[in-house]
Amino acid sequence: MARALLGKLLVRKTPRGILAGRIIETEAYLGKGDRAAHAAAGKTARNAVLFGPPGRAYVYFIYGNHYCLNVSCLADGVPGCVLFRALEPVSGIAQMAEARGIELAKEIDLKKISFLKKISSGPGRLAEAMEITRARDNGKSLVSQRSDLRIVDDGYRVRRVTVTPRIGIVKSAEQPLRYFIARNPFVSGRRVH
């Protein structure tokens, strides 16, 4: 699923307008046995969505500052999810930048990759740009037509995918469960890809 979600759009309907970003980077988190996964310790109030039906938003708060968005992926009762790590801004870019607290110096900024990268490259950044919080979105369907937060296939074709170990974890860190569109500038992180 982490691989299949690359290239799809994440679309948010807000009262002020529609926000959309293309999924560039994801990570898979498994259930029992994956000690980096929130589901590893069993079902709790915090991670209950992971144990529910597939296609639902699992939003958690981390480091006292940031929300991160996942989608539950396995059958009801079986934990497992995909973390969204980076989006390429596609629509509603000015509103996304504003949600991030980024100053728009000139209109030309909206076309600069260095500017666009700051908006939604990174799991905390993309959640902030898409106005995602746990209170608002946790448990919501991401595959329902009616949902205001939704995954959409617009026919975009991903050419090549790179697979690496996951970022920012210590336990179960060696498994190659991070996926991103090869040579795409919106991949998160400081290291060389």
Using CB under 7 A, list all residues that contact DNA: 27, 29, 36-39, 41, 44-47, 58, 60-66, 68, 70, 81, 83, 100, 118, 122-126, 166-171, 188, 190
CB of 146 to DNA, least distance (A): 25
Q: Which is nearer to DNA, 60 or 92 (CB)?
A: 60
CB of 77 to DNA, least distance (A): 17
Number of other residues whose CB lies within 10 A of the CB of residue 21: 27
Of 92, 75, 73, give the one whose Cα is nearest residue 83. Answer: 73
CB of 161 to DNA, least distance (A): 19
CB of 169 to DNA, least distance (A): 5
Q: CA-CA distance, 162 to 33, in Å (whole number)?
A: 24
Q: Which is nearer to DNA, 47 or 95 (CB)?
A: 47
Tell me the residue type at 160.
Answer: R
CB of 43 to DNA, least distance (A): 9
Q: CA-CA distance, 74 to 50, in Å (whole number)?
A: 8
Q: Which is nearer to DNA, 104 or 154 (CB)?
A: 104
Q: Which is nearer to DNA, 15 or 101 (CB)?
A: 101
Tokens coding 83: 């973390």
Number of other residues whose CB lies within 10 A of the CB of residue 55: 16
Phi, psi of 30 (to 5 degrees): -95, -165
Q: Which is nearer to DNA, 11 or 50 (CB)?
A: 50
Residues 135-161 as b or e (16 or more Cβ within 10 Å = b): eebbebbbeeeebebbbeeeeeebeee
Q: What is the CA radius of gyration of the chain?
A: 16
CB of 155 to DNA, least distance (A): 27
Tell me the residue type at 77.
Answer: G
Q: Which is nearer to DNA, 141 or 188 (CB)?
A: 188
